[in-house]
Structure 1
Amino acid sequence: MTQLFCEQCGLPIPAAESACRSCTQEELDEYRVVREYLRMNPNSNAMQIANATGISVSRILRYIKNGSLTMVNDGPNRRNR
């Protein structure tokens, strides 16, 4: 049987997981910070969020990629439908 390791810190983890409990909790806490920031600043981009929260751009982009966050465009080029 192959031992699996946390993608973030390298600790051994159960087969059904991709991260250890500690890293999973840290990611959940950071996600909540990002969501709250976006609630208060809805037109922010990933760099602005990272600068304001201290959470890495790569982690913010991961939230977008996995569907946890959705970016909307309210800029001047947005089409009315």
Structure 2
Amino acid sequence: MSNLRNCSKCGRVFPYMGRNICPRCLEKEEDEYQVVRRYVRDHPGAGVIEVVEETGVEEDKILQFLRDGRLQAKGLTASLRCERCGQSINSGRFCESCINEVNAEIQGHLPQKAKSEEPKRPPRGKVKDKMHIKDRGFF
């Protein structure tokens, strides 16, 4: 049986497939995204408030499209800020500088493998390297 969840938007029960919203609400969200995308394409430099008024899509949803990277603020005047340093960004949650810093920190904590080291393999033909089953005397 599939994993059932309640939709975070409408409360309906649906089989979970990676998102916390049901297929019906997901389709509605996609339709709203397409309306906003067309408006921003046809009216570059429009502000978020203008897009809200002209499309009827909620401001929070438009900002979420920006955070998700589905829209870019290049054609849309928005006040999206990096969640780490506060710098103004066009889309996503973090600026390029913070992304690079976090990636470097993560890489610094991962064990480094020497590129020249080859995995050691036992020489072929050695009998002592064979696998055996130990008789425990149960039967």
TM-score by structure 2 length?
A: 0.49
Question: Displacement of 1:38 after TM fit?
Answer: 0.6
Q: Which amino acid aligns with 2:5?
A: L
1:29 matched residue in structure 2 = 31
CA distance in 1, matches of 2:4, 2:34: 31
1:72 matched residue in structure 2 = 74
TM-score by structure 1 length?
A: 0.80
Is 1:12 paired with 2:13?
A: yes
Question: After superposition, what is the alpha-carbon deviation per residue over 1:14-46, rounded to whole angstroms, capped at 9, x for unaligned?
Answer: 222321111011001110000110111010121
| Structure richer in helix, relative to its length | 1
Q: Which amino acid aligns with 2:13?
A: P
CA distance in 2, matches of 1:70, 1:27: 17
Q: Of the two, which has the highest radius of gyration?
A: 2
Q: Which runs of 4+ in 1 moved over 2 A?
A: none
List runs of 5+ in structure 1 lacking aligned partners. Answer: 76-81
State the identity %.
Answer: 30
CA distance in 1, matches of 2:6, 2:57: 23
* Alignment RMSD (CA, Å): 2.3
